């Protein structure tokens, strides 16, 4: 079990659907992250939130829309996705202050686009 | 260009042997270094972090850092079949809170 909880664990959706991925942590971390991971590839950063504000957007297409309602929650809203968006989506969190803070990952949401 | 390089493997070792995993990085001012283990279909799990030159030991795992050579390694002693996984080297290049840059990972296979 991890201290970062992601729901759902699996999601299958059509290209016209709208869905959301959810992430929750109760470790008091003030930085939260979304990563995308394709098979046999390393995680690729999508977004970084610090103190509930978006601090990094790695040129992610607008069909992915992040939201951080409070310090414990991070959402990723999905709309009009493409088959190539099928991947494992990972949420992570860490302390913000200090250089030596590791990131802790949730179990991920495996997304399949039909 | 901030880069983290790892040999993709597979690295095959017999049970009980020492597995040595290596990682190099491009930016001399990098501050924090992490090793994650990822089983197939699972999320990355933090196993070691190291910030200062030298060795850091935790159970069967030893991380080694040489900032002058821009090199970090992970040694796994008494390797077990359950250690078979992909090991990801991750580096934080900038201030706290910025994302990690991951290497492509090394696949380790421990045979019984």
Residues A35, A104 contacting (CB under 8 angstroms): no
Taking only the tens place, the pLDDT of each residue in A35-79 is 999 999 999 999 999 999 998 888 899 999 999 999 999 999 999
- B32: distance to nearest CA of chain A, Å? 6
- A80: distance to nearest CA of chain B, Å? 25
Q: What is the rounded CA–CA span in Å between residue A54 and residue A41?
A: 25
- B112: distance to nearest CA of chain A, Å? 24
Partner B contacted by A67 (CB < 8 A)? no
Residues 6+ apart with CB under 8 A from B96: A95, A96, A97, A98, A99, A100, A101
Query: Inter-chain contact B46–A104, Cβ cutoff 8 Å?
Result: yes
Query: Inter-chain contact A56–B104, Cβ cutoff 8 Å?
Result: no
Taking only the tens place, the pLDDT of each residue in A77-93 is 999 999 999 999 999 99
Taking only the tens place, the pLDDT of each residue in B36-51 is 999 999 999 999 999 9
Residues 6+ apart with CB under 8 A from A21: A6, A7, A8, A11, A75, A76, A78, A89, A91, A109, A111
Query: Inter-chain contact A33–B103, Cβ cutoff 8 Å?
Result: no
Partners of A47 on chain B (C-beta within 8 Å) are none
Q: How far is CA A55 from CA A2, A33, A66, B30, in A?
A: 25, 10, 12, 20
Quote the tokens at residue B71.
């090199």
| The CA-based dihedral angle spanning residues B81, B83, B86, B87, taken in that order and rounded to the nearest 10 degrees | -150
């Amino acid at each position: 079990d991890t201290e970062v909880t992601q729901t759902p664990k699996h999601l299958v959706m059509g290209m016209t659907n709208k869905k959301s991925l959810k992430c929750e942590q109760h470790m008091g971390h003030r930085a939260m992250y979304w990563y995308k991971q394709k098979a046999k590839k390393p995680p690729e950063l999508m977004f970084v939130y610090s103190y509930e504000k978006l601090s990094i957007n790695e040129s992610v297409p607008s069909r992915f829309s992040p939201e951080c309602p409070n310090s414990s929650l991070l959402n990723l809203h999905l709309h009009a996705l493409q088959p190539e968006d099928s991947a494992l989506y990972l949420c992570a969190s860490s302390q913000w202050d200090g250089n030596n803070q590791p990131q802790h990952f949730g179990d991920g949401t495996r997304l399949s686009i039909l | 260009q901030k880069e983290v390089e790892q040999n993709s493997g597979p690295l095959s070792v017999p049970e009980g042997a020492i597995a040595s995993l290596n990682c190099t990085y491009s930016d001399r001012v990098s501050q924090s270094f992490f090793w994650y283990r990822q089983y197939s279909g699972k999320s990355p799990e933090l196993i070691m972090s190291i910030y200062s030159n030298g060795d850091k030991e935790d159970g069967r795992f030893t991380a080694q850092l040489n900032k002058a050579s821009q090199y970090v390694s992970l040694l796994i002693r008494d390797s077990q079949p359950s250690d078979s996984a992909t090991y990801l080297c991750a580096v934080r290049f900038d201030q706290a809170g910025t994302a990690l840059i991951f290497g492509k990972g090394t696949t380790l296979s421990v045979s019984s």
